[in-house]
A and B are shown apart, each in its own frame.
Chain A
Amino acid sequence: MLEISNLQVAVGNKPILKGLNLNVNPGEVHAIMGPNGSGKSTLAHVVAGREGYEITGGSVTFKGKDLLELAPEERAGEGVFLAFQYPVEIPGVNNVYMLKAALNGLRKYRGQAELDAVDFLKLVKAKTKSVGIDDGLLNRPVNTGFSGGEKKRNEVFQMSVLEPQLAILDETDSGLDIDALKAVGDGVNQLRDGERSFVVVTHYQRLLDYIVPDFVHVLADGRIVRSGDRKLALELEERGYDWLKDETVAA
């Protein structure tokens, strides 16, 4: 479904990704781990279409389409969702209102009829229950004055309403206490349906206790230096990242 091949990305003149390869099939959960500054967030942003990155080589396709040619909203229309590491505050814009515009934007892109207010609110109500988000957050301005945990839960809630085919979680665990982490993990697990794919970007292993990945990749210095299963993540937790770096250099 998602095919990243030899992707090279620079910011300014500084290369960040230096030939990255990744294949994600429907229903798979891939964890991308790595030390700070290895390019994890860059990868997430480039796939979602954020400006400010220079693609110097390689390709990213999604369901056979060249993703790099599409605007961010078109990528969303194709089914790509990014759960932000730092969800932004948008003062004065009602959370549910924004979400309705988003869902109808996606439906329009896909040639589907837009949902009216009644149907949309029914959908929201159902999702609120299943994700376990506090009703009170729904009618507040987007992320404005939310705690760190509330922001991340709101991301998962949005994901559940927008139902993407590929969800990228960019360090969703950062700044969360154990309870919030568990809640976010539960929310994501509910969305695993054998078809939807996830790319979980994280620095720490602990999120993977809740969202169990099929594959674990280690990103270091702009490349994936090792891939494995769940056990690799546990090994990383025990030994840190340095041994991998040393190994890469030695090789």
Chain B
Amino acid sequence: MASQPQDINDFVGQKYEAGFYTDIEQDSVPPGLDAGVIEFISKKKGEPQWMLDWRLKAYTRWTKMVEPKWAHVKYPPIDLQAISYYSAPKSQENAPKSLDEVDPELLETYEKLGIPLEEQKMLAGVAVDMVFDSVSVLTTFKEKLAEAGVIFCSFSEAVNDHPELVRRYLGSVVPVSDNYFAALNSAVFTDGSFVYIPKNTRCPMELSTYFRINAMNTGQFERTLIIADTGSHVSYLEGCTAPMRDENQLHAAVVELVALDDAEIKYSTVQNWYPGDENGVGGIYNFVTKRADCRGVNSKVSWTQVETGSAITWKYPSCILKGDNSVGEFYSVALARNYQQADTGTKMVHLGRNTRSTIISKGISADQGQNAYRGLVRIAKGAENARNYTQCDSLLIGDKSGAHTFPYVEVKNTSSQVEHEASTSKISDDQLFYLRQRGIRDEDAINMIVNGFCREVFKELPMEFAVEAQKLLSISLEGSIG
């Protein structure tokens, strides 16, 4: 156990001596990670000393940690010293000059999703001046949000413009020492989003379209912090149904949500990173820590996720139900096909009285895909009258795919009520034949059955997102029968 940190330290020490990363004029650092690299990132971003200290603290903790191995996923060891932890936004020189130079398959997908042409260019990384419509749209959004007093900006901006809020809440939900990847993220995160909703304010719009644009180039170690002050409400949409060009293989994001008294946060995700080809080559490793702290009484956090991408997904959006009467919800659809592996689920930690949580998880496995639900429901001693309802359904397509369920339940209070329901089903020949006999093509029939299976989760998504998610699922499943 102890040998790995030792090795890392040795390695780190060597590189530090070489000292070729300290040149602040450089646009990127060579691969490798040590304290010098972190100083470089922090300086490059013009961060205050407290931020650097925080990063270094995280780094020190990280060097003493080992990569977790308990997830039901298999992958070759990741060489974290082979990654470059800072590079300036990509030069446009090598980018495709027009959509004609972009992979036709990618364009076909955009077409099917109905993505506007200008946005297609952006997603495909076409060199364009940022003077098209979206910039003005962006400005309009910003004005409208500012009127309501909502702060919505990049994480870097927040560090400089709202240090009191960042210092108060950063790491208060996911401490730097929480887990290996969270510690790594805390040390080296490049950027992300920051949201603050003031007291008794209902955020005037879904934070979505804006995000699609805002989220570009935030890199592989993204950091998000959302604070809903007393009596406020916000719906936040993360991700994009369109597959994005990305050369980073490892993604280790951290998302922290804080809900104070009577506040409500709805966080929806559609994740569609490159899953690797049909032989399992390439693809993103997505190791994310997402956690919400329902700190206030009557607070509520609802996670909804549709996960169709990434070669490996390792993700457990969780709720700490600290405030009395607080509510946590988790609705998830996870698809694994070809050689994709998903180990995802949630943790609901009931601390306050009359806390309630609901978990609805739908796993779909096709081809050789492996899908695992891993969930923890913990009822603490003081959580009088806590309630949890969990429903885990798995759908198998073909005979080589797998579904696994790992539910953990810890109850320390006798007045609580915990329910767990689980089912595993296959798309049956009977169902397929029935729909085909009615005149529905075989692929459409599969989509219909799968979408029906996911309905309980899709209805939790904001309307537009739900439509996109359904389309995405159909596209992701194309050719999965045979």
Contact = CB atoms under 8 A, between A and B. Distances in A.
Nearest to B427: A90
B449 interface: yes
A162 B428 contact: no
B476 interface: no
Given A91-B453, A93-B449, A98 B435 contact: yes
A98 B439 contact: no
A82 B435 CA distance: 11
A90 B446 CA distance: 11
A69 to B, nearest CB: 15
Nearest to A76: B439
A114 to B, nearest CB: 12
A72 B433 contact: yes
Contact of B431 (A51, A52, A90, A105): A90
Interface in B423-465: 428-431, 433-442, 444, 448-449, 451-456
A88 B436 contact: no
Given A87-B434, A105-B444, A73 B439 contact: yes
B437 A141 contact: no
Interface residues of A, number: 32
Contacts of A91: 452-453
A48 B437 contact: yes
A77 B441 CA distance: 10
A105 B439 contact: yes
B482 to A, nearest CB: 13
Interface in A53-84: 71-73, 75-77, 81-82, 84
B436 A90 contact: no
B437 A77 contact: no
A245 interface: no
Interface residues of B, number: 23
Given A50-B433, A51-B433, A101 B440 contact: yes
Contact of A88 (B428, B448, B453): B428
A76 B454 CA distance: 28
A105 B433 contact: no
Contacts of A88: 428, 430-431, 434
Contacts of B433: 50-51, 72
Interface string A107-119: 0010000000000
A90 B452 contact: yes
Nearest to A99: B438
Given A88-B428, A92-B454, A72 B448 contact: no
B453 A76 contact: no
A109 B452 CA distance: 24
A98 to B, nearest CB: 7
A109 B440 CA distance: 10
A51 to B, nearest CB: 7
Nearest to A77: B439
Interface string A146-168: 00000000000010001000000
Given A51-B429, A91-B453, A141-B452, A162 B436 contact: no
A209 B480 CA distance: 47
A93 B437 CA distance: 16
Contacts of B440: 73, 98, 101-102, 105
Contacts of B441: 73, 105
A109 B439 contact: yes
B438 A90 contact: no
A103 B455 contact: no
Contact of B442 (A50, A73, A81, A98): A73
Contact of A103 (B428, B434, B439, B444): B439
B434 A102 contact: no
B429 A90 contact: no
Interface in B135-186: none
A106 interface: yes
Contacts of B434: 84, 87-88, 90
Contacts of A82: 437
A49 interface: yes
Contacts of B454: 92
B335 to A, nearest CB: 16
A226 to B, nearest CB: 30
Contact of A90 (B435, B437, B442): B435
A90 B448 CA distance: 9
Contacts of A87: 434
Contacts of A109: 439
Contacts of A76: 436-439
B436 A72 contact: yes
A157 to B, nearest CB: 12
Contacts of B438: 76, 98-99, 102, 105, 158, 162
Interface centre among A50, A81, A86, A92 (most CB of B within 10 A): A92
A49 B432 CA distance: 12
A12 B369 CA distance: 31
Contacts of B455: 92-93
B282 to A, nearest CB: 33
Contacts of B444: 101, 105
Contacts of A93: 448-449, 451-452, 455
A129 B433 CA distance: 28
Interface centre among A91, A103, A158 (most CB of B within 10 A): A91
Top 3 A-B pairs, shortest CB-CB distance: A92-B452, A93-B452, A102-B438
17 contacts: A51-B429, A72-B433, A76-B438, A81-B437, A84-B434, A84-B437, A88-B428, A90-B434, A90-B435, A92-B451, A92-B452, A92-B453, A93-B448, A93-B451, A101-B448, A158-B438, A162-B439
Given A71-B436, A90-B434, A92-B454, 14 more contacts: A71-B442, A72-B436, A73-B441, A76-B438, A87-B434, A90-B431, A90-B449, A93-B451, A98-B438, A98-B448, A99-B438, A105-B439, A162-B438, A162-B439
